[in-house]
Amino acid sequence: MNYFSGDNQLLIRSMMETDIEKFVEAFAQQQWHKPYELFHSYYIEQKNKTRTVVVAEVNHQPAGYVTLLDKAVEGPFSGKNIPEIVDFNVLMKYQNRGIGSKLMDVTEGLAQAQSNFVSLAVGLHSGYGSAQRMY
């Protein structure tokens, strides 16, 4: 499913199976270990309709993603049918172009269609600084 198509070759869409290997390779190129199994599980959960994976594509290449769980499974919002935004990443070479903002706009809209509330999960490690500022 396509959620947004911009004039600068930006497309925001659902995850496709072909994205799995592309993301693994792209994150490895920037020295981040993101295993195949992670993206494969996200894809399977999307097929099973328990997670939505929103992908940003620039010039036909994955540039980033964010996932939305139908309901929080941990923390203070678990068991309350509140959707949760989890695992938000924009590849370094695509950062500071508004791609992350567009990913979040789309994902927040999807969450709003489910609930009046949304939970955000973010790490507290300093490496998550960009995501923390975005949230």
> 58-109, pLDDT tens digit by residue?
999 999 999 999 999 888 888 899 999 999 999 999 999 999 999 999 999 9
Residue 125 has pLDDT above 60, yes or no: no
Strands laid side by side in the 10-14 sheet: 2-5, 10-14, 51-58, 61-69, 84-90, 119-120
Contacts of 27 (CB under 8 A, 6+ apart): 33, 34, 89, 91
Q: Determine what percent of the chain is predicted with pLDDT higher than 90.
A: 79
What value does the mean pLDDT take over residues 6-30?
A: 94
> 51-71, pLDDT tens digit by residue?
999 999 999 999 999 999 999
Residue 16's φ and ψ, nearest 5 degrees, are: -110, 155
β-bridge mates for residue 89, sequence order: 65
Task: Supply 45's token pair.
Answer: 């959960």
Residue 8 has pLDDT above 70, yes or no: no
Query: What structural domains and CATH numbers belong to the chain?
Result: 2-134 (3.40.630.30)
**What is the value of pTM for the model shown?**
0.89
Angle, vertex CA 68, rays to CA 90 and CA 34, nearest 5:
45
β-bridge mates for residue 61, sequence order: 58
The span from the CA of 94 to the CA of 120, in Å, is 22
